[in-house]
Amino acid sequence: MPFKFHSRGRRHIPRQKYRVTNWRDYDAALRNRGSLTIWFTEDAIAHWRAQPRTTPGGQRHYSDLAIETALTLRAVFRLALRQSEGLIGSIMRLLNIDLPVPDHTTLSRPAFPRLRATR
């Protein structure tokens, strides 16, 4: 018995025993832990597409709001760029919103350097 010397010092604080008294609420709370609610406001939908450029250069398809939304969801769920593209697309389909989804090249750093400069 190599640890017999410390046996009197162990378990001197009794372990707490948690007893569930209301199983219906407990089960509902466990189910709600996995619940996910995402919504887009009317203002976000209206500003999803980029305004036309007045300066020389190619036209942007997505606003900064659209890119930031996609990158935020990417960071929250720890997704790769293509996976975040798929997540945004599936959310748009679930919400019946007919908006274009930024592709992974638009979300990558070289394609969108403005967000990198603001961080």
- Domain membership of residue 43 (yes or no) is yes
- Domain membership of residue 22 (yes or no) is no
The predicted-structure confidence for 8-49, as pLDDT tens digits, reads as follows 666 666 777 778 888 899 888 888 888 888 888 999 889 888
- Domain membership of residue 100 (yes or no) is yes
Task: Report how many domains make up the chain.
Answer: 1
- Domain membership of residue 93 (yes or no) is yes
- Domain membership of residue 99 (yes or no) is yes
- Domain membership of residue 108 (yes or no) is yes
The predicted-structure confidence for 72-115, as pLDDT tens digits, reads as follows 888 889 999 899 999 999 999 998 999 888 888 888 865 455 55
Query: Residue 67 in contact with residue 102, Cβ under 8 Å?
Result: yes
Q: What domain range includes position 101?
A: 36-53+60-119
- Domain membership of residue 17 (yes or no) is no
Q: How far, in whole angstroms, is CA 12 from its chain's centroid?
A: 44
The region that residue 96 occupies, defined by phi over 0 for left and psi between -120 and 50 for alpha, beta otherwise, is left
